[in-house]
Structures are given as C-alpha cells and as structure tokens.
Amino acid sequence: MKIILNKHKLLKIIEKEKNLGFVPTMGSLHKGHWSLIKKSNSLCQKTIVSIFVNKPQFNQKSDFKKYPKQKNSDIIKLKKLKINYLYSPNSREIYPL
C-alpha cells in the first residue's frame, strides 16, 4: 500500500490508472467501510481509500475534537484489505491558504 499525502502525486496516479476504485472516508474505519473497500477491490484493478476528517463539515468545534482519529489502526486495517493507495492529506492540502 502506497500512502499519498500530496494532491499532485494523487493526480499523477489517477491519470495513469485505467480502472481505479475510490472509497472516501473520514477514518475510524468500520464494517461499512470494509464492505465498500472489498467491493471496490472486486470490481476494480486498484483501489484508493482516502482518510480526511473535514473540519468544516462539523457544526461545532467540540464535535470535531471528539471525532475519533485512529489513523495508525486504520492503516493496519487497510493493509489487511490489500488496498493499493491511501490518500491522507492534511488540511492545507485541501484548503490552501
């Protein structure tokens, strides 16, 4: 599994892949995510999963702070599911200054 932190590298991968499945998440992966990832793996040659906790989508700051962030355990799960790419940008990549 290749971990991508930069959107420019992501774009290069997307351009060259012909049959790429995409599963967007906010992390804290659960059985619903696993099901989507397995489906993508079965239908596509390669799968990319994103993990990005999108702060602006939370109504209250306290909800964002409470949202579980388990990146290390998520990475272990994704390796077991044999995905090809993990896109995990920081906020500056998504919302540049």
Catalytic residue annotation: 33
Nearest to residue 1, comparing CAs of 36, 38, 47, 37? Answer: 47
SS (H, E, C) 3-29: EECCHHHHHHHHHHCCCEEEEEECCCC
